[in-house]
Amino acid sequence: MRAVRIHAHGGLDQLQLESLPVPEPGPGEVRVRVHASGLNHLDLWVRRGVAGHTFPLPLTPGCDAAGVLERLGPGVSDLHEGDEVVVAPGLSRGTCAACVSGEDHLCAAYGILGETRDGTDADFVIVPARNIMAKPKCLDFTAAASFSLTFLTAWHMLVARADLRPGETVLVHAAGSGVSAAGIQIANLLGARILATAGSEEKLRRARTLGAHEAISYHDPEWPRVVRKMAGGGGVDVVLDHVGSDTFAGSMRTLAKGGRYVFCGATSGFEMKGDFRPVFFKNLAILGSTMGSQGELRRVRDLMAAGRLVPVVHQVLPLENVAKAHEVLEERRAFGKVVLTLADGDPPTPTPR
């Protein structure tokens, strides 16, 4: 089979398309023939490397996938070969107290496909049987491969962590990202008023089309003041962020009393600096968030199947163009997801490394 492999951290040249044996599922596992694999910002971190974190190289990246269930491992009896499926990206033991309580994302052994074990940028992927969900019939493989990680992340941020309520106002940063495009839709579904930031007029326009009521460029140095004005002067109730140091201090200034700042990443830098007095004066909450539970993802899948949430796909490229796909994300040219497609028939054999 073809598989993208990372042997060392670095630039785009570290993405190697190689020929590997087709893997066999072990007990409790299944093999999925991948038709489409969705990229996430996590793929960039895996390729570049993260200081203080060790990835199990060589590694096949890729967190999200949709395809056909091809083979069941020993002990798997409640799934059917030939079914069209979506792969859930989160990995857990499935037996610990957190897992059986429906909080598998808090499992001590929690991991993510393409980060802690080989992922979905390959013709075939092996996953635990519990990571398999039926593909919504209304979605093709490309769309079905583009929602799991981002919509799960945004759902957990807004629903479980920030407890966003109808009538509240939420500020969504970097609207063109996969998580933020999902967050705008989820906030709309929850009945919130949505303000969004983005870096270009086109992305601001698309944010409004997606459901944002108002939008402002984050290049405007006065954006915190403008956001407060948009929110009626009192500030916003929730800020959804994954930008980090560039937006943290301004975000805290936009929050109303009792406001909640929830973030799932820090792409601009990990040091958060600002005046922390308003945190206790205004009873603010700073909430970290990573992924979400399998139950939450299945709720998102059901909303996708009902047409109440819609995947946002920016560009579709063949697996061979994985470096270009990374480049599109790296240069922030995407609004929504970049998806890799894989051949339906027998894959061509790439030149071995």
Q: Sketch out the chain's domains with CATH numbers.
A: 2-146+311-341 (3.90.180.10), 151-288 (3.40.50.720)
Residue 349 has pLDDT above 50, yes or no: no
- Report the candidate in 34, 298, 32, 216 with the shortest Cα–Cα distance to residue 141: 34
Instruction: Give yes or no for a cis peptide into 74 (omega within 30° of 0).
Output: no
pLDDT tens string 91-148:
999 999 999 999 999 999 999 999 999 999 999 999 999 999 999 999 999 999 999 9
Residue type, 11: G
Q: How far apart are CA 44 and CA 259, in angstroms?
A: 31
Whether 69 contacts 77, CB under 8 Å = no
How confident is the prediction for the chain on average, in pLDDT? 94
Cβ-contact 243, 268 below 8 angstroms: yes
Kindly provide the b/e burial profile for residues 63-89, where b requires at least 16 CB atoms within 10 angstroms of the residue's own CB.
bbbbbbbbbbbeebeeeeeeebbbbbb
Segment among 74-78, 173-177, 189-193, 241-245 with least mean pLDDT? 241-245
**Is pLDDT above 90 for 40?**
yes
The answer to whether residue 175 scores a pLDDT higher than 70 is yes
CA–CA gap between residue 3 and residue 1 (Å, rounded): 6
| pLDDT tier, 347 (very low <50, low <70, confident <90, very high otherwise) | very low
User: For residue range 43-77, what is the model confidence (pLDDT) as tens digits?
Assistant: 999 999 998 889 999 999 999 999 999 999 999 99
Model confidence pLDDT, tens digit, residues 291-307 = 999 999 999 999 999 99
Q: Is the pLDDT of residue 350 over 90?
A: no
Distance CA 222, CA 219 (A): 9
Q: Tokens representing 139?
A: 């979605």
pLDDT tens, residue by residue, 226-266:
999 999 989 999 999 998 878 899 999 999 999 999 999 88
- The kind and range of the H/E element at 4 are strand 2-5
Say what the pLDDT of residue 265 is.
Answer: 86
Q: What does 214-283 look like in DSSP terms, one character per residue?
A: EEEETTSTTHHHHHHHHTTSS-EEEEEE---HHHHHHHHHHEEEEEEEEES--TT-S---S--HHHHHTT
How far from 97 is each of 119, 152, 248, 258, 292, CA to CA, in Å? 26, 21, 34, 32, 16
Q: What is d(CA 201, CA 188) in angstroms, rounded to the nearest whole number?
A: 21
Specify the pLDDT at position 351.
Answer: 34
pLDDT above 70: percentage of residues in the chain: 97
pLDDT grade for 344, boundaries at 50, 70 and 90: low
Pairing outcome for strands 111-112 and 90-91: antiparallel
